[in-house]
Amino acid sequence: MQLITPDMSVDPDDPRWDQEVHIVPVTENPEKPLSLDFGVHDFVRNCACHPKIEKQRFGRTIISHQEAVN
């Protein structure tokens, strides 16, 4: 896992990334300084949040998880 900051990008041909890249929303936990909350997500295509799946060049797939889980 790697935290992607807003100034970073996931290039489709960058070999550091796997063929599936999961983008999961994160919030800072105000009760615990320097603690991050990723919500309830499985790093799979059929996560409960119904992520958006986008095919990229070079065969890579970006799976963008949603902020709200129903």
pLDDT digits 0-9 by tens, 6-30: 788 878 778 888 888 888 888 887 8
DSSP 30: T
- DSSP-based three-state secondary structure for 57: helix
Rounded mean pLDDT, 18-43: 85
Please count the other Cβ atoms lying within 10 Å of the Cβ belonging to residue 49.
19
Please check whether residue 40 is in contact with residue 26, taking contact to mean a CB–CB distance below 8 angstroms: no
Q: Give me the chain's average pLDDT, please.
A: 85
- Read off the tokens for 44: 């799979």
Please check whether residue 51 is in contact with residue 63, taking contact to mean a CB–CB distance below 8 angstroms: yes
Q: In the prediction, which pLDDT does 65 show?
A: 93
Q: In the prediction, which pLDDT does 54 show?
A: 93
pLDDT band at residue 50 using 50, 70 and 90 as cut-offs: very high
Q: Is the pLDDT of residue 69 over 80?
A: no
